[in-house]
Structure formats: C-alpha cells, structure tokens
C-alpha cells in the first residue's frame, strides 16, 4: 500500500549532481496506441472530464538499476523531462483509461503540510496499479520508491469502481479497464532529435456475449472469486453492442496469463449467467458458477448462450444447456477517446 509516513519532499527538477548538459525530451506513444485528438474539443472548447473519465499516463525512467524519475499525468501535452546525454536510460509509459468499466479508484492527498509538499494537497492519489500523486510533472528523487511506485511494482492488482453511481471499489488482478504500456531500453539522448516514441502494447482482452434467442427479459452476468468483476445486464436491444474490456498487469511481458497453482487460478473468470423473464421467472444458464476460458492478450472471447424452450407451464429452475465459446483475434488500433 501507499506509505504516507514515508513521503519525501521532492522537487520537479533533477538532482544538482547531474550534468549541466541535460536535454529536455518530449514523449509520444506509438505502436498499438493512437490518440483521437478531434474528440478532445468541441467548438474550440476543451471538453470537461470527470476524474473517473480521464486518461492517465504514468512515466517511469531508470538510470541503470536506479529509479531516476516518475510522473503521473492526465494531460499528454505536459509529458516532458530532462535527461543527461552522458547516461543510458530505460523509459516506460503506461496509459490507463476506464474503457468499458467505471473508472480507477483514487484518494486525495492531504499530508503535504507534514511532508513538505503542500502544493499537492487535494490532488488525486492513486494506489493500484500505479502509485503516486497526479501532478502533471516528473519527480526526480533518488528515494522515489519510498513514497510512490510504478506500474505493477506494488503487486499486480488493479483498484477500480464497481459502478458509475457508487463509491464501492474492487481490487484484483483483472479489472474492467483499458491499459496500454511500452518501454524503450538503452536510450541515449540525441540533442538533435529530442523526442522519443514509445512502442505501446495493449494489455487487454475482451468478452462478448451472443444470444439470438433473447427476445424478452434480460440476462444477468455476475462474477465470483477470484475476480469480482462488475456484472453485466444484457437486454435484447443491447446485447449485440455490449462489450467488456479487461486489463492485466502480466500482459506487460506476456501474451497469455499464467493460471497459477491451486483449485482456483489467479486469472480464472468464474461467472454466473441468469435469464430473468418479465413475469419473474428465472433460469440459471449452465451449472450455476461456470469458469470461462481466460483469453490471451488482444483476444476476444465470444460467449454463445442458448436459452431453454419455454411454455406456459414452465417454472423457474436450472438449464442444463452448456455454454459454448470461441476466441478470435482483436483489432489493435482502436483509438483512445478523451
């Protein structure tokens, strides 16, 4: 967890021990990430976004094995930093967006008067999967790991809201959110080209439900241990367009998720699907709790649901019809919209 008692007084300038020949570098994402700039303005006015709707950028820089700088941003135009041409760096960029989910949990920082950074009081404070204060500038501090941490450095959990209307949160290794990440190793500054492009990977998979028989009532999808993901309510007029996008830190370095040992794996998706009719009758689809196949990175899991045949004498109960699945590749150039 975030350790408030270890908060250090930081400056947004590099240490005075670095070379005087530092170069200001700007950063831009590339690869599987694109930015739809046209969605940022309407009639030349910037769209106001709530804290839950914002896109967050976490930038980490290492000099050798030491953390050189870290910053959390919600304005990509603010991302720039000073590097010394005498050194070689590793630079990582992580982009977080609520996607089809309900937003990332945040607290608000309130300990600045005690720890020497009163200017940060009231700013959003994140715990998982990144830790630190939303400052829109880089912090250069040799002890940065004592008060904030980068993507996946405090475990592999996400912390997100469970709905748009409540403050309830869920913490777990899978989250309904969109994540992009990428890094460049062995980077040396070229003063004639002070811009670096980070090749980004999309760290997500999708789940889509299909049920041509759904012409009345609704389908209720709920999730159980170990990943209590937000549930889905699917109606005849929404099921064709409803899509869940889910993120995992482990996709940073792998295209498949390691299940882990034990009866229930770390990334198991345990779901219950219920058909609820307008007259109050309900049917459980499958055998109660069902473990869905966990897709790989950039894969879309199609859950094909078959409903039982009903007549006027049918009552509530369990359907013995099994679910069927298919997995397809997924387009990787969906624009991020602000």
Clarify whether residues 20 and 131 are in a common domain: yes
Contact 165, 74 (CB under 8 A): no
Q: Is the pLDDT of residue 96 over 50?
A: yes
Q: C-alpha 117: how far from its chain's center?
A: 28
Clarify whether residues 177 and 219 are in a common domain: no
Give, in order, the Cα–Cα distances in Å from 212 to each of 161, 174, 230, 281, 319: 31, 29, 24, 19, 17
The candidate with the shortest Cα–Cα distance to 28, out of 57, 48, 53, is: 57
Last residue of a domain, one of 153, 169, 202: 202
Say what the pTM is. 0.82
Q: Is the pLDDT of residue 323 over 70?
A: no
The candidate with the shortest Cα–Cα distance to 73, out of 13, 144, 130, 143, is: 130
Mean pLDDT of the chain, nearest integer: 80
Task: Determine, yes or no, domain membership for 276.
Answer: yes
Clarify whether residues 306 and 295 are in a common domain: yes
d(Cα 337, Cα 335) in Å, to the nearest integer? 6
Task: Determine, yes or no, domain membership for 336.
Answer: no
The pLDDT-based confidence of 47 (bands split at 50, 70, 90) is: very low
CATH code, 307: 2.60.40
Where would I find the H helices in the chain?
112-115
Clarify whether residues 181 and 70 are in a common domain: yes
d(Cα 175, Cα 105) in Å, to the nearest integer? 11
Q: Is the pLDDT of residue 105 over 60?
A: yes
Task: Determine, yes or no, domain membership for 310.
Answer: yes
Task: Determine, yes or no, domain membership for 38.
Answer: yes
170-198 tens-digit pLDDT: 999 999 999 999 999 999 998 888 999 99
Task: Determine, yes or no, domain membership for 338.
Answer: no
The candidate with the shortest Cα–Cα distance to 201, out of 143, 266, 247, is: 247
The pLDDT-based confidence of 148 (bands split at 50, 70, 90) is: low
Task: Determine, yes or no, domain membership for 52.
Answer: yes
Clarify whether residues 63 and 104 are in a common domain: yes
Clarify whether residues 167 and 243 are in a common domain: no
The pLDDT-based confidence of 2 (bands split at 50, 70, 90) is: very low
DSSP letter (8 states) at residue 145: G
Clarify whether residues 198 and 221 are in a common domain: no
Give, in order, the Cα–Cα distances in Å from 96 to each of 89, 93, 178: 23, 10, 6
Structurally, the chain folds into a number of domains equal to: 2
Task: Determine, yes or no, domain membership for 337.
Answer: no
Last residue of a domain, one of 145, 169, 202: 202
The pLDDT-based confidence of 320 (bands split at 50, 70, 90) is: very low
pLDDT-wise least confident of 111-125, 163-177, 247-261, 307-321: 307-321
Clarify whether residues 157 and 234 are in a common domain: no
The candidate with the shortest Cα–Cα distance to 69, out of 20, 136, 141, is: 141
Range of the domain at 317: 204-331
| Residue 89 or 4, more confident | 89
Looking at residue 313, its pLDDT comes to 52
Last residue of a domain, one of 148, 168, 202: 202
And the tokens for 292? 């869905």
Clarify whether residues 15 and 163 are in a common domain: yes
Clarify whether residues 20 and 83 are in a common domain: yes
d(Cα 138, Cα 68) in Å, to the nearest integer? 10
Contact 126, 104 (CB under 8 A): yes
Alpha carbons within 13 A on the beta-carbon side of 234: 26
DSSP letter (8 states) at residue 322: P
């Amino acid at each position: 967890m975030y350790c408030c008692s270890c908060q250090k007084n930081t400056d947004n300038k590099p240490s005075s021990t670095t070379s005087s020949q530092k170069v200001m570098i700007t950063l831009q994402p590339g690869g599987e990430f694109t930015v739809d700039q046209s969605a940022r303005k309407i009639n030349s006015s910037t769209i106001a976004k709530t804290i839950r709707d914002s896109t967050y950028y976490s930038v980490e820089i290492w000099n050798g094995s030491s953390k050189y700088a870290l910053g959390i941003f919600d304005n990509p135009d603010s991302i720039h930093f000073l590097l010394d041409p005498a050194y070689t760096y590793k630079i990582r960029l992580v982009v977080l967006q609520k996607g089809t989910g309900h937003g990332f949990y945040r607290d608000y920082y309130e300990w600045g008067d005690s720890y020497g950074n009163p200017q940060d009081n009231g700013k959003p404070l994140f715990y998982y999967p990144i830790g630190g204060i939303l400052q829109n500038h880089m912090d250069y501090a040799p002890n940065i790991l004592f008060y904030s941490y980068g993507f996946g450095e405090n475990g592999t959990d996400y912390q997100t809201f469970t709905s748009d209307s409540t403050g309830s949160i869920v913490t777990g290794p899978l989250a309904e959110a969109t994540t992009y990440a990428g890094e460049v190793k062995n980077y040396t500054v070229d003063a004639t080209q002070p811009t670096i492009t980070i090749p980004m990977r999309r760290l997500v998979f999708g789940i889509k439900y299909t049920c041509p028989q759904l012409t009345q009532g609704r389908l209720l999808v709920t999730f159980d241990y170990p990943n209590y993901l937000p549930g889905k309510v699917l109606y005849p007029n929404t099921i064709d367009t409803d899509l869940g996008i889910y993120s995992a830190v482990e996709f940073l370095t792998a295209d498949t998720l390691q299940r882990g040992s034990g009866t229930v794996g770390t990334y198991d998706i345990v779901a219950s699907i219920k058909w609820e009719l307008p007259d109050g009758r309900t049917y459980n689809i499958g055998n109660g709790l069902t473990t869905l196949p966990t897709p790989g990175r950039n894969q879309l899991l199609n859950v094909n649901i078959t409903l039982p045949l009903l007549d006027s004498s049918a009552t509530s109960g369990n359907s013995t019809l099994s679910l069927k699945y298919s997995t397809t590749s997924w387009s990787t150039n969906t624009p991020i919209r602000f």
